[in-house]
């Protein structure tokens, strides 16, 4: 099945306690996520990232996001994203498709 951004919008409800997905949105408990696909890791101005995430480099590609969202703690031990992760691969693919689509507009 193809990743479905509309379903991803629904999955994103699990993220909104900590993240804005709005253009120019504020950093909250987590950094704002507008345009995060392709954005360099840990690069949102004004957000205080963990050393764990600052130790990563390169852009957030689909594959990197897919690994991160499966288990943030496994991907970046010491991360302050206290979220267990999305165990279903289709949920991860859908939410990444949603975030990607957003950054386009
Ligand atoms: C970081 C996505 C849920 C708190 C991040 C980053 C992404 C992300 C992509 C890295 C951003 C960057 O490098 O600028 C998501 C998604 C979620 C989710 C898609 C839902 C499926 C949550 C929840 C919380 C949270 C529920 C709070 C309980 C954080 C924090 C960071 C972060 C504190 C910074 C991590 C660090 O510096 O180690 N998130 N997140 N996130 N998120 Fe989330």
CATH of the domain at 95: 1.10.760.10
Which residues, 6 or more positions from 82, have their beta carbon under 8 angstroms from its beta carbon? none
pLDDT tens-digit series, residues 79-103: 999 999 999 999 999 999 999 987 5
| pLDDT of amino acid 104 | 59
Distance, CA of 51 to CA of 55 (rounded, Å): 6
| pLDDT of amino acid 102 | 75
Count up the domains in the chain and report the number: 1
Task: State the distance from the centre of ligand 1 to the C-alpha of 2, rounded, in angstroms.
Answer: 24
Quote the ipTM score: 0.99
Probe target for ligand 1 pocket from 3, 13, 18, with the most ligand atoms within 8 Å of CB: 18
Given pLDDT bands bounded at 50, 70 and 90, which one contains residue 68?
very high
Q: Are 30 and 38 in contact (CB under 8 A)?
A: no
Where in the sequence is the domain holding 58, given as residue range(s)? 5-104
pLDDT tens-digit series, residues 3-42: 999 999 999 999 999 999 999 999 999 999 999 999 999 9
Probe target for ligand 1 pocket from 3, 31, 55, 94, with the most ligand atoms within 8 Å of CB: 31
């Amino acid at each position: 099945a193809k990743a479905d951004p509309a379903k991803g919008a629904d999955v994103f409800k699990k993220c909104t306690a900590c993240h804005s997905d709005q253009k120019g949105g504020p950093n909250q408990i987590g950094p704002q996520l507008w345009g995060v696909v392709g954005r360099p890791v840990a690069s949102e101005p004004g957000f205080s990232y963990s050393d764990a995430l600052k130790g990563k480099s390169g852009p957030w590609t689909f594959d990197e996001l897919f690994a991160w969202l499966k288990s943030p703690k496994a991907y970046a031990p010491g991360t302050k994203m206290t979220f267990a992760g999305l165990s279903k691969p289709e949920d991860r693919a859908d939410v990444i498709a949603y975030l990607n689509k957003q950054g386009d507009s």
